[in-house]
Amino acid sequence: MRPTDVSDPDYYHRVVDCQWACPAHTPVPEYIRLIAQGRFDDAYMVNWVSNVFPGVLGRTCDRPCEPACRRGRVEEENLAKPEPVAICRLKRVTADYKSDELRAMIPRPAAPNGKRVACVGAGPASLTVARDLALQGYAVTVFDGEKKAGGFIRTQIPRFRLPDSVIDEEIGFIIGLGVDFRAGTRIDSMKSLLAEDWDAVFVGSGAPRGRDLVLEGRQEAAADIHIGIDWLASVSFGHVTSVKKRVIVLGGGNTAMDCCRSARRLGADDVKVIVRSGFEEMKASPWEKEDAQHEGIPIINYHVPRAFLHDNGRLVGMSFQIVRAVYDDKGRRSLVPTGEPDAIFDCDEVLIAVGQENAFPWIEPDAGIAFDKWGLPELDARTLQTTIPRVFFGGDAAFGPKNIITAVAHGHEAAVSIDRFLHGEDVTQRPPAHVNLASQKMGIHEWSYDNAPSNDARHKVPWAKAEAALASIKVEVELGFDLKAAFQEAQRCLNCDVQTVFNPKLCIECDSCVDICPTDCITFTEDGEEEDLRGRLNAPSPNQEQALLVGGPLKTARVMIKDEDVCLHCGLCAERCPTGAWDMQKFLLVTAKAGPTCRDRKQGALA
């Protein structure tokens, strides 16, 4: 194999599994270390720079980082059920324990540069664009039809998961940068918006239409049947304050989980989730399913809705066809009726949460923005630029419903595009991330990070008492870690960003690193092709997703192979190394953000 090119910024980035998995590439181990040091403000700012909404995301993020977490692959007891570091809940810790000093740490906007940018919708994508650009001196105006900013964050996520105060504070940080928020101002016409002479327009209006289920009885019983996301928004704004006793929620995504748990709190005592697919295939995150079941809500799978049953317009129940999953030889699933008689469930109200669709009725067909056959704008996936160069899309409006952290990532990219575009630079040229590697050696056996891995199992987040939590939609269910548990959970992080950096020129092949490595990651052997090498390492290397670090050739013409898969980043290889051929170096990735650093001409004039 060719020696690993560690100058490729992606190489060490991939080793930091959580950061690599995060759409916004949040430096997770960096802020977790700051938590362990009690530096909550600094930890919050690391998050704020990357993901803009630490308090919101610390409660609601889809956490792609956690399934990726290396901790889940190395723990002794949990190979069947991985227990990653509670990254998401540690993010909440930074928000919960930050001090009043934090406001002073938020950067001041640069002097106004005279450029005006309009953002349509005040959801996470638009607010990220607004923050990134306002800091660079842009005059950003954010329009939203609702009275309060937040979009999806405000309307779709129930208050028992995310209190208003958290949203208000974090949106306040952004508005406080001088962003002009026009509440209750719905944009009805793209053409007239474009006529207002904005230098750039960003559309972050979300995917606001819930999919309906047109079945027999839908029209007749319409009064008792609601589209899930609309219903959640009504609950959020207090328009809906109660439900009937027996509620069926259709659908298997996170919206369905929010609907059923909200219904439980608004007075329903018989709530069921009924889903077409199998339980395992449901789109909802595993922990959201667990939370619903924890509250006594059954999830019934393999039931396809047939009809709404009504008695002169009053909903009385639903009928379902019972199916089973059949897989063809290509692994494709089809749901085949089992032949059993249809199942009938009595109910008084139904919430339909079977997906969302994008809809842009306010963008005129002749506005100049091209749409594809699915009704989504034709975009360059990296620049997010539409067929009108000064119009950009992001969040759910861009590629259909995803999640908050993806919307934030889109916001950063769109802000970079807008910044380059308004400086007359090619938006397709994307600035690379800045990468820094710094040795963490402090003394002969001392590192600037806690290198001894903790053996703790994952710490559980305490919950409010069930009676109190179920009694009101406003009582937050999860209480967040206390300081002790937060520290202990932070110590479970393996510091994967502190990289094992190997210098073959210094290696004397004494085998010390091989002997001490607790996870048998290191092998000195004759060179070969990757497949061959993976077969003759000191420990099996089945995880092809994880790279091999190859160093050499060494004096004996052998090579050093380190399988990155289950490295604990404990630094023992470097402590045992007599020549400093191994060093532990902290990898810091600074993704390009709008501003001079993302431009070719750092001091360039505006176009």
Contact residues toward other proteins (CB under 8 A) are 73-76, 79, 445-446, 451-453, 455, 508-512, 514-516, 518-521, 539-540, 555-556, 566, 568, 570, 572, 575-579
What's the gap between Cα 197 and its chain centre?
34
CA distance 318 to 308: 5
Residue 92: how many other CB atoms lie within 10 Å: 24
Nearer to other proteins, 497 or 565 (CB): 565
Burial class (CB in 10 A: 0-12, 13-18, 19+), 171: buried
Give the strand pairing for 441-443 and 446-447.
antiparallel
372 contacts: CB under 8 Å, gap ≥ 6: 378
The least distance separating other proteins from the CB of residue 451, rounded to whole angstroms, comes to: 6
Which residue in the block uniquely carries the two structure tokens 């069926």? Answer: 248
Nearer to other proteins, 392 or 524 (CB): 524
The least distance separating other proteins from the CB of residue 67, rounded to whole angstroms, comes to: 16
Nearer to other proteins, 194 or 581 (CB): 581
The least distance separating other proteins from the CB of residue 533, rounded to whole angstroms, comes to: 16
| Cβ 464 vs Cβ 513: under 8 Å | no
Nearer to other proteins, 95 or 570 (CB): 570
Q: H or E segment at 181?
A: strand 180-182
372: left (phi over 0), alpha (psi -120 to 50) or beta: beta
The least distance separating other proteins from the CB of residue 548, rounded to whole angstroms, comes to: 15
Alpha helical stretches, state H, 365-511: 396-399, 404-422, 466-471, 483-491
The least distance separating other proteins from the CB of residue 73, rounded to whole angstroms, comes to: 7
Nearer to other proteins, 326 or 539 (CB): 539
Nearer to other proteins, 344 or 510 (CB): 510
150 contacts: CB under 8 Å, gap ≥ 6: 122, 123, 167, 171
What's the gap between Cα 83 and its chain centre?
18
The least distance separating other proteins from the CB of residue 64, rounded to whole angstroms, comes to: 22
The least distance separating other proteins from the CB of residue 461, rounded to whole angstroms, comes to: 23
| Cβ 243 vs Cβ 349: under 8 Å | yes
Nearer to other proteins, 142 or 581 (CB): 581
Q: Which two tokens stand for residue 519?
A: 């996870």
Nearer to other proteins, 209 or 534 (CB): 534
Q: Which two tokens stand for residue 235?
A: 């609950």
The least distance separating other proteins from the CB of residue 575, rounded to whole angstroms, comes to: 4
Nearer to other proteins, 17 or 575 (CB): 575
Nearer to other proteins, 288 or 565 (CB): 565
Q: Which two tokens stand for residue 257?
A: 């989980």
| Cβ 221 vs Cβ 315: under 8 Å | yes
Query: Strand locations in 503-566, DSSP E?
Result: 522-525, 548-551, 559-563
| Cβ 292 vs Cβ 251: under 8 Å | no
The least distance separating other proteins from the CB of residue 498, rounded to whole angstroms, comes to: 14
| Cβ 336 vs Cβ 193: under 8 Å | no
The least distance separating other proteins from the CB of residue 522, rounded to whole angstroms, comes to: 11
